[in-house]
Amino acid sequence: MDISLIINGVFIGSVFAIATIGLSFFYTTTGVFNFAHGALLILGGYLTYTGLTHLNLSLVPAAFLSVVAVGLFMTLFYRYALLPIREQHITAIIITLALLLMLERLIVVLYGPWGLPFPTFFPGVVIVSGTEISIQKMFVSISSLIAIALMWVLISKTWIGLGIRATIDNEHIAASLGINAGRMHLFSVFISSAITAFGGINIASTLFLSPILMSQMNMIAITVSILAGLGSIWGVIPAAFILGIADTIGASYLGGWFRFVSMTVVVILVLVIRPRGLFGQKERVI
């Protein structure tokens, strides 16, 4: 197999992983499946673009402000719009769909319906085994995996992560131990939305900014989540790489039209064998 296929598959897998991890974490911690996820992804890219082109900020402060802004926005939205009806699952889904449509329309009004070029900060290529690899793509892959690793450290090794995991296991027991479950939910929403915005910045830096990316990335994130198993946050990572490689191979041998078909075929085959997905459990786990 051509090594370029593996390299492209790894790159796409890392993009799929950073695009999905926030969706899975949001669902795992709150029990609400956020259909506005794709809008939050692209919103992070648009806010960073605004910081770069209109406020003349450098990449790091523009990205940082965008990540914080999206995290705070979704935390407030969850607190006042989703939390009161969190147990009414259909209503919660409808509200997140309404948020998706609202943000999509707002972006079209502010930025237009056409694609916008995102600045390239790491031009050039490196040669590996005779294959050219974009430095920008290498940066996106590495930074995406670092962000996911930092999220794992936060959830697994800090007191905030301990409180989040205790709240997921049993809110009543967590409360009896002095853990504020409501506050843990808000922390979770901020973390999931912030890393989602970071993923959107990475996606924009290797593609372009366009409102159409919202629905496309939404479907990819949902597909990866289903393959991993709803409620299995870390299962998203291998699932993303499986679909990334399947996407690359399908597009290479059968043409670009087949890339999403190949992903669908993989998901269907896995669900036939494991209806809950590769790592799905009866309960949400983290």
3-state class of 46 per DSSP?
A: helix
Q: How far apart are CA 71 and CA 64, in angstroms?
A: 11
pLDDT (mean) for 242-265: 74
Distances in Å between the Cα of 141 and the Cα atoms of 10, 11, 253 are 8, 6, 24
1's enclosing H/E stretch is: none
In this structure, which amino acid lies at residue 128? V
Question: Whole-angstrom distance between the N-terminal and C-terminal Cα of the chain?
Answer: 36
The more confidently predicted of residues 267 and 135 is 135
Reference 125, options 11, 239, 2; nearest CA is 11
pLDDT (mean) for 215-237: 87
The Cβ of residue 129 has, within 10 Å, a number of other Cβ atoms equal to 8
Which two three-digit tokens encode residue 77? Answer: 């939205």
pLDDT (mean) for 23-44: 92
Which two three-digit tokens encode residue 68? Answer: 């914080």
The more confidently predicted of residues 121 and 11 is 11
In this structure, which amino acid lies at residue 173? I
- Residue 284 — pLDDT band, cuts 50, 70, 90? low
Average pLDDT in the chain: 87
pLDDT at residue 282, rounded to an integer: 56
pLDDT (mean) for 78-97: 91
Which residues lie below 8 Å from residue 268, measured CB to CB, with a gap of 6+?
none
- Residue 198 — pLDDT band, cuts 50, 70, 90? very high
Which two three-digit tokens encode residue 281? Answer: 């459990």
Q: How far apart are CA 275 and CA 113, in angstroms?
A: 39
Which two three-digit tokens encode residue 119? Answer: 């600045």
Residue 179 has pLDDT above 90, yes or no: no
